[in-house]
Chain A
Amino acid sequence: METKIDQTLDCKGLSCPMPMLKLAKAAKGLSSGQVIEMLGTDPGSKSDVPKWCDKTGNVLLSKEDMDGGVFRFVIQKK
């Protein structure tokens, strides 16, 4: 089943901490149940995003490596 994406956050090319700052800020603007998709290329995000989801209670719906070194995270706001 394809999840409906409410917002896409492009963090490609950005280094730590910009992806996490942008994600945290964007998540603040979402309402409960909405889904955000984040694209990034910083390998740090691979551990930072799941940890952040754990801590904040937001749900990491999926995490995948795409072509061209891009990671894609789909997160549902708590």
Chain B
Amino acid sequence: MAETNKEPGILSQLFRIFFSKHWPVWVGGIVLGALNVFLFAIKSPWGASGGFNVWGENVYKMVGMFGLDGTKPLSLSFYGMLCIFLVLGSFIAALLSKEFAFRIPPKGELIKGFIGGGLMALGATFGLGCSIGSFFSGLPALSGGAIIFTLGLFFGTIVALKYLLWEMEKFPSFSSGKSYTFLAASAKKGGWQRYLGWIVLIITFIVAYRYSGDNKIMAWFIIIGMLMGLISQRSRFCIVKGFRDPFMTGESDGSVGVMAGLLMGIFGFTIIKYFGIGIGDVGVRAREMTWVFPHFFLRAGIGGFVFGVGMTVAGGCAVGTLWRVGEGQVKLWASALGFLLISPISKLYIVKPLVEIIPQNLRFKSFLPDYIGYPGAFTLMIFIILIWYVFVKWNEKTGKFSAY
């Protein structure tokens, strides 16, 4: 593109708003929160670990392992497709902003990615839910288990951050060494990225259109998944960052972004549940119990902790992994691979026997309005976010809990 003095046209200014600078994280948070409410209005809220699991089951089915022949094909799984188009949405965003490149890290980082992904799979299958299902959607769903899962995530993050700091001190060679970058663009080079970005965007809409005849829900899952990836990439929305950065550099922007999305979700979800919107033929009670999982409180606590360790070691939670895959960060490819390969194995062979040991009253569905009513549950969630907000802002000023 040649430098001219001419002011760019209206459409190219619009393009720049989206694809020139990164968006503030809180803007991304609000839009993601709104899309999450849309998903719930259409069918059920956002989730990511289920998508990974479907990917993994389809891989094992293809190679004929673990007797998973009855697995639903990927093309018919809402959450499997949501995750695929989340990756593609981020791919589109990275291309249109010329930020795509294959970034291959040193070996140690690849190993950490895989292990982090595997831990996330263990945490998600044991704890029933991930950073999305039992946190970003779980808290708005007014689930008591989600509060416990969230506490688990916090402690897991802190422990894993301690590990990262220790590793950097004692074994700096683990995260350094030969790295490679391919296909990167620059201001003058790499115009192909823009063209390819538009092509993939158009393909997404064609695929959604082809489903729109007899599977309208899927058509919208595809479009919303793509938008979620695109927005996450542009705003660098990252749940790990929200949990971790106050304890690392003291930065609070990432946390505030997550809170913005949660607030949006809490309003939307509460309204949908309270008024029984979109009941279809399932009944009010089933609608209310959507995304309230039988994990209160032991399963949620342990699962959240393991997931928190995993996401911090990997450097991306379930969604952070997906959108970084789309932008070409190969460490997160390793993490996605660990997640999808371990998830079905964990579900089949590890979680089942373990869960049977846990008594029923330590793994039940806790829907907060059953105990404190809708006003109480709604207020409690807002209050939790307010406390978290005060903590990260206070900590940002004082650096009390920050490593640096």
User: Which chain A residues have a beta carbon within 8 Å of chain B's beta carbons?
Assistant: 10, 12-18, 20-22, 24-25, 27-28, 41-44, 46-48, 51-52, 55-56, 65-70
Q: Are B176 and A20 in contact (CB under 8 A)?
A: no
Which residues of chain A have C-beta atoms less than 8 A from B349's C-beta? none
Is B315 at the interface (CB under 8 A from chain A)? yes
- 27 A-B pairs with CB atoms under 8 Å apart are A12-B179, A12-B181, A13-B106, A13-B179, A14-B106, A14-B179, A15-B103, A15-B109, A15-B316, A16-B238, A16-B241, A16-B315, A17-B164, A18-B109, A18-B315, A20-B249, A21-B168, A24-B248, A27-B404, A28-B404, A43-B22, A44-B236, A46-B22, A55-B396, A67-B189, A69-B103, A69-B184
Q: Within the complex, what minimum Cβ distance (angstroms) separates A8 from chain B?
A: 12
Q: Are A15 and B104 in contact (CB under 8 A)?
A: no
Q: Are B187 and A65 in contact (CB under 8 A)?
A: yes
Shortest beta-carbon contacts, A-B, top 4: A69-B184, A13-B179, A24-B404, A13-B105
Is B203 at the interface (CB under 8 A from chain A)? no
Q: Within the complex, what minimum Cβ distance (angstroms) separates A2 from chain B?
A: 22
Q: Which of B36-44, B218-226, B284-292, B326-334 contacts the other chain? A: B326-334
A6 to B16, CA, bound (A): 36
Is B244 at the interface (CB under 8 A from chain A)? yes
Interface string of B100-132 (1 = CB under 8 A from A): 010111100100000000000000000000000
A47-B22, A65-B187 as given contacts; A42 in contact with B251, CB under 8 Å = no
Q: Are A15 and B329 in contact (CB under 8 A)?
A: yes
Which of B104, B241, B329 interacts with A42 by CB under 8 Å?
B329
Q: Within the complex, what minimum Cβ distance (angstroms) separates A41 from chain B?
A: 5
A51 to B332, CA, bound (A): 24
Q: Are B181 and A21 in contact (CB under 8 A)?
A: no
Q: Are B315 and A70 in contact (CB under 8 A)?
A: no
Given contacts A20-B249, A41-B179, 7 further A-B contacts (CB under 8 A): A15-B109, A15-B331, A18-B175, A24-B404, A55-B251, A56-B249, A70-B184
Q: Within the complex, what minimum Cβ distance (angstroms) separates A56 from chain B?
A: 8
Interface string of B136-171 (1 = CB under 8 A from A): 000000000000000000000000000011001000
